[in-house]
Amino acid sequence: MTAAASALAMAPVRSRARPDGWLLAALAIAAVALLPLLALAWTAAQGSDAWPHIVANVLPQAARNTLWLLLGVGALSVAIGTGSAWLVTAYDFPGRAVMAWALLLPLAVPTYIVAYAYLDLLHPLGPVQGAIRSVLGHEGPREFRLPDIRGLAGCIVLLGLVLYPYVYITTRAMFMTQAAGLLEAARTLGASRAAVFRRVALPLARPAIAVGAALALLETLGDIGASEFLGVQTLTVSVYTTWVTRSDLPGAAQIALSMLVVVVAVIALERSGRRRAGYASAMRPRPMQPQRLRGAAGWGALALVALPVVLGFVAPATHLAIESGQRIVDGTGVSPMLWRSTWNTLRVALLATAATLAAGLVLAWALRLAQARRRTRLATAALRIGSLGYAVPGTVLAIGLLAPLAWFDDGANLLLRAAGLEPRMLLMGSLGALVLAYMLRFLAIAGGGVEAGLARIAPSLDQAARGLGAAPRRMLARVHLPLLRPALAAAALLVFVDAMKELPATLLLRPLGFETLATWLYADAARGAYEDGALAALLIVLAGLLPVILLARTGLTYGHEVAPA
């Protein structure tokens, strides 16, 4: 008792006396995250005489396309994500338990693969239109065919189908852990099903929807594979064109930087969605009792939630499996290189996940500590700056990283020379460069995930822990980390899946002879034989399945886990 009391008296003194190591670490991470952007700004400042052309002929169309794409994908992913999360949480129907995790499966399918697969599936020569023609009795595609999927509408639908799980996972966790009491009260008071959803569940879920939708929108903004393949000139595609086709890196950097405006808007949107959401609860949340849907209503609910799973995962994965099967039978599909690429992919994704999670934890924890002290400006800035990399297209980030990597290697080589050693490339062209690129790219997921997880832990717990004399590090280890476990696991799995799918930065920064599944697939796609990459694509999807299933378990069941036994 006396020990506790004296610790209580000492705690504020100690925190004043010591420099805040957590904040310093967070600022250091933010500084590293800022480096590629500063390098880009430097490049942009070199000036491009093409800017008048870009303003007149590129930006208007690209901005319009990007805006429609964001609106469309946002609306679609929120509708599918929220709707399905609500159905599997509030109602019980046949197949519900399977659907609850199967709804996450599209996360395992990279956007570029879904675009390749659907172009095959929906091509006039493909199975879908073939079946339609045979039903209608048409001979060939010249007599009857559906409109082409290349274009904005097709791109919106495909991206929405693979990005909705970001909304689904955040919203479902919210429905499960937060809403039960209120929803049951509303039901008891006689509110209709629709009214419960609209007047209680949706407003409660708004912060979760905002988080998930922001992730989906930032993925959309950075997408190059699907939009380029489907011929949609977005801002990101324009950055590529300006850089690659016109060899105008300053111009490309200028477009990339002007994209940051959109990014900031998306992040602001997410912030405003989350505001006034003091939803931390010291009470243990209680899972919701789902309502049983009988007969046609039950089957209808199943059909509704099965549709996004079938379109976003089953159809493209089955197509890949069939194409792969054909190539295995031909003996053209499997090579030792493919297995080595699989191993490389897992290895680098794992390293990147560890680095990203550690950095995200530092950023979010520094903010938590700052909140307790009510001086959050620096820590907030660090977290936001750390998140910017997610929104910059992969290659642009990688290009921005080239100069900082070279500086680092220059500095390291000065030391090596002084020590009488041969100069060598330490970061650039090694796994270090790749891991750093992934970390900066996906820090938003880890930082945001941990931040959201911390927000659910009532500040009163911190006060109690500090009151009992726990230093921040001890408090983190003993109080917060255990409570954060689901959030950490969810963030780790999301980062892992994303790192495994990442293509553009990998293409530019990987070492000699280092192929990942994504670069392997891309090599096939680049010579116009993307179906030869079916096996690599299938392996990406399969390798993504395990983390996604784990994610489903940790992310979706922890509502039960923390419930009183």
| Touching another protein, residues 200-239 (CB under 8 A) | 228-231, 233
Check binding of 391 to another protein (CB under 8 A).
no
Biggest CA-to-CA distance, the chain: 90
Cross-strand pairs, 92: 292
The answer to whether residue 142 forms part of the interface with another protein (CB under 8 A) is yes
Single out the segment in contact with another protein by CB under 8 A; choices: 281-289, 310-318, 450-458, 509-517: 509-517
Closest to another protein by CB, 314 vs 431, is: 431
User: According to CB under 8 A, which one of 287, 298, 459, 511 is a site residue for another protein?
Assistant: 511
340 binds another protein (CB under 8 A): yes
- In this chain, which of 191, 426, 464, 563 binds another protein, going by CB under 8 A? 426
Report residue 221 as tokens.
């903004």
Q: Spell out the alpha helix ranges (H) of 196-335.
A: 202-222, 225-229, 235-240, 249-274, 296-309, 315-330
CA quadruple 243, 249, 254, 255: dihedral, nearest 10 = 10
State the Cα–Cα distance between residues 186 and 261, nearest whole angstrom: 41
Closest to another protein by CB, 53 or 193: 53
**31-90: contacts with another protein (CB under 8 A):** 50, 53, 57-58, 61
Selected range binding another protein among 13-21, 122-130, 206-214, 277-285, rule: CB under 8 A: 122-130
Asked if 483 contacts 464 with a C-beta cutoff of 8 angstroms, the reply is: no
- Whichever of 371 and 430 has its CB closer to another protein, that residue is 430
Positive or negative: CA dihedral 308, 312, 314, 315: positive
Q: Which residue has the tokens 């609910």?
A: 301
CA distance 501 to 280: 34
Hey, what's the torsion of the CAs at 42, 383, 206, 212, to 10 degrees?
Answer: 70
Which range in 181-189, 310-318, 425-433, 464-472 contacts another protein by CB under 8 A? 425-433
Binding mask 476-495 for another protein (x = CB under 8 A): -xxx-xxx-x---x--x---
Give the whole-angstrom CA distance, residue 406 versus residue 427: 8
Spatial distance between the Cα atoms of 289 and 181, rounded to a whole number of angstroms: 10
Give yes or no for residue 128 binding another protein (CB under 8 A).
Answer: no
Which of residues 182, 310, 507, 563 is near another protein by CB under 8 A? 507
- d(CA 357, CA 396) in angstroms, rounded, equals 23
**Minimum distance from residue 341 beta carbon to another protein (Å):** 9
**Residue 430 interacts with another protein (CB under 8 A)?**
yes
Size of the site for another protein (CB under 8 A): 85
CB atoms within 10 A of CB 218: 26
**Choice from 19, 295, 513, 564 touching another protein (CB under 8 A):** 513
What is the dihedral sign for C-alpha 149, 155, 156, 157?
positive
Nearer to another protein, 313 or 520 (CB): 520
Q: Which is nearer to another protein, 240 or 390 (CB)?
A: 240
Point out which span in 69-77, 177-185, 244-252, 441-449 binds another protein (CB under 8 A).
Answer: 244-252
DSSP-derived 3-state class of residue 234:
coil
Q: What's the closest the beta carbon of residue 392 comes to another protein, in angstroms?
A: 14
Between 303 and 481, CB nearer to another protein: 481
User: ∠ at Cα 367 (208, 7), nearest 5°?
Assistant: 125
In angstroms, give the least distance from the CB of 533 to another protein.
10
Q: Which stretch binds another protein (CB under 8 A): 6-14, 71-79, 241-249, 447-455?
A: 241-249
